Amino acid sequence: MTIGVDDDESAFSGLENDRELEKSWLRICARLKDEVGEVEYRTWLTKIALGPIDGDEITLLLPTRFLRDWVRSQYGDRLSELWHQENQTLRRVELQVARPGDPAPVPLREDGPARAAATPFQDDTPPPRPTPSIPDSRSDLVTALDTRFTFDTFVVGKPNEFAYACARRVAEKPSSAGFNPLFLYGGVGLGKTHLMHAIGAELIKTGQVSVAYMSAEKFMYRFIAAIRSQSTIEFKEQLRSVDVLMIDDLQFLIGKDNTQEEFFHTFNALVDAGRQIIVSADKSPSDLSGLEDRLRTRLGCGMVADIHATTFELRISILEAKAQASGVVVPTKVMEFLAHKITSNVRELEGALNRLIAHANLFGRPVTLEATQEVLHDILKAHDRRVTIEEIQKKVAEHWNIRLTDMSSARRARNVARPRQVAMYLAKQLTSRSLPEIGRKFGNRDHTTVMHAVSRVSELMERDAAFAEDVELLRRMLES
């Protein structure tokens, strides 16, 4: 991440020595710990070590690429801000993977800095995460939950209200009939993990329930590690002793037959014992074609809840909530602009907003439309390129087997008019074109026709699950 600062003075020229630098780092750590909470801090931020300073650039070292990428994506902007606050002349904060031969970093400890080399992890496997305090052997499985992902911070709208209601229900009454397993699915970055963590946080609050959350990838690594260390029995016992097991991104198990098998047995043991299972994936159980049939069948026999792609309205609500939480004033015009431009997923939308907010905080400038276009130049360009109306028309025409020319023809037969409406709907969702512009691309139709098509398709998607699946499928194909 690069911070542009006009002043040419060398960073840390005011800090006399390493000790001062360490003090700065400790202050930053204390702030971060307050902001992100104990668990998150211990999990990720204690792994950062101070690297060398070169002129106006400070390097922070992480033991693995995985950790570096994670810290960069989750805390990169904040680290920049905090270092900048410590020293105004700082231009760059560089996150790097520690390599043999690097200067010995200063590992960050709660009780103060200590000089010793950080121990790099052997590979890119996510490191074991610390656990909330549940005082028994099961706590080994309880992955630190992201404290930001709660029901309170989840913005509810049409596309996710069903999944939200199901999640709430499971958090209130785990293992109730019809909701076990709870299977949440939807495209990338639409809030599946957020909802799972929210359920976990709610359950842990009651203190009566042991909750294990892990990604399917982690599940596999744990399983393989248990095989290697000949401790599969302990692993199985641990898994089978929790009250609630949450596995995120199950699609990762496609093609991993042995791990699937293990998961299947764990799943059966837990459900048979009346424990709750919550699973997320990018597709519905029936569409996860690389999973064993018997597992897909079992996954689909509880509650299956789809998180649909965001609507413009939901994107605006999310932006409003996040802007408000940040304390930075983001004009409605800017939010509308972002919600029009970044339609793919909430993670990207949030990332864009965070960048704007970090920029506003760093330079003390208000957020304006012009600043937004400048700061988010690269993101906006990538989104502009993403999909064209012509591509949408072609894909939709192919899907329903109609002629491409019918996208702009005057024919009103339903088998032609409906796909045309879907194409208009997708054009509105996936491109930043205005209603009149879209209308023009569909045989010079009026913008009110496009508006009607958008609301008609939304309505039908709510009423007809098969139709909604078709439209979602098309959207995903176009976005990939």
Ligand X SMILES: Nc1ncnc2c1ncn2[C@@H]1O[C@H](COP(=O)(O)OP(=O)(O)OP(=O)(O)O)[C@@H](O)[C@H]1O
Residues 293, 298, 299, 303, CA torsion sign: positive
Q: Least distance in Å: CB of 57 to ligand X?
A: 29
| Candidate ranges 98-106, 153-161, 395-403, 443-451; the one touching ligand X (CB under 6 A) | 153-161
Neighbours of 325 (CB within 10 A): 11
Q: Which residues of 357-382 are buried (b: 16+ CB within 10 A; e: fewer)?
A: bbbbbbeeeebeeebbeebbeebbee
| 84 near ligand X (CB under 6 A) | no
Neighbours of 173 (CB within 10 A): 11
* Residues 313-352 interacting with ligand X (rule: CB under 6 A): 318, 346-347, 350
From residue 246 to residue 275, what is the string marking binding to ligand X with x (rule CB under 6 A)? Answer: ---x--------------------------
Q: Least distance in Å: CB of 350 to ligand X?
A: 5
| Candidate ranges 59-67, 192-200, 332-340, 403-411; the one touching ligand X (CB under 6 A) | 192-200
Distance CA 397, CA 242 (A): 49
Answer yes or no: are the C-beta atoms of 449 and 410 closer than 8 Å: no
Which residue among 191, 200, 285, 439 contacts ligand X (CB under 6 A)?
191
| 190 near ligand X (CB under 6 A) | yes
| Candidate ranges 121-129, 151-159, 206-214, 358-366; the one touching ligand X (CB under 6 A) | 151-159
Q: Least distance in Å: CB of 319 to ligand X?
A: 10
Distance CA 212, CA 267 (A): 13
HSE, side-chain direction, 13 A CA sphere, residue 4: 4
Which residue among 188, 224, 379, 451 contacts ligand X (CB under 6 A)?
188
| Candidate ranges 77-85, 184-192, 263-271, 297-305; the one touching ligand X (CB under 6 A) | 184-192
User: What amino acid is encoded at 99 in this protein?
Assistant: R
From residue 272 to residue 311, what is the string marking binding to ligand X with x (rule CB under 6 A)? Answer: ----------x-----------------------------
Number of residue whose CB is nearest ligand X: 191
Q: Least distance in Å: CB of 163 to ligand X?
A: 9
Which residue shows structure tokens 């202050």? 27
Residues touching ligand X: how many (CB under 6 A)?
Answer: 19
Neighbours of 216 (CB within 10 A): 22
**Residue 199 parent element (H or E):** helix 192-206
When the beta carbons of 139 and 153 are compared against ligand X, the nearer one is 153
Q: Least distance in Å: CB of 156 to ligand X?
A: 7
Tokens of 199: 């359920």
When the beta carbons of 94 and 350 are compared against ligand X, the nearer one is 350
| 189 near ligand X (CB under 6 A) | yes
When the beta carbons of 42 and 347 are compared against ligand X, the nearer one is 347
Neighbours of 18 (CB within 10 A): 13
Q: Which residues of 87-115 are buried (b: 16+ CB within 10 A; e: fewer)?
A: bebbbbbebebbeeebeebbbbeeeebee
Helices (H), 6-132: 18-36, 38-44, 65-86
When the beta carbons of 193 and 259 are compared against ligand X, the nearer one is 193
| Candidate ranges 16-24, 189-197, 261-269, 441-449; the one touching ligand X (CB under 6 A) | 189-197
When the beta carbons of 56 and 306 are compared against ligand X, the nearer one is 306
Give binding residues for ATP as ranges. Answer: 189, 191-193
Q: Least distance in Å: CB of 479 to ligand X?
A: 13
Q: Reply yes or no: is the peptide bond before residue 130 cis, omega within 30 of 0.
A: no
Q: Are strands 57-62 and 49-54 parallel, antiparallel or unpaired?
A: antiparallel
User: What amino acid is encoded at 57 in this protein?
Assistant: E
Which residue among 84, 192, 428, 475 contacts ligand X (CB under 6 A)?
192
Q: Least distance in Å: CB of 31 to ligand X?
A: 21
Using DSSP, state whether 407 is helix, strand or coil: helix
User: What amino acid is encoded at 229 in this protein?
Assistant: S
When the beta carbons of 21 and 190 are compared against ligand X, the nearer one is 190
When the beta carbons of 151 and 264 are compared against ligand X, the nearer one is 151
Q: Least distance in Å: CB of 332 to ligand X?
A: 19
Distance CA 360, CA 232 (A): 51
Distance CA 372, CA 125 (A): 36
Give binding residues as ranges. Answer: 189, 191-193
Which residue among 59, 143, 160, 343 contacts ligand X (CB under 6 A)?
160
Answer yes or no: are the C-beta atoms of 258 and 228 closer than 8 Å: no
Residues making contact with ligand X (CB under 6 A): 149, 153-155, 160, 186, 188-194, 249, 282, 318, 346-347, 350
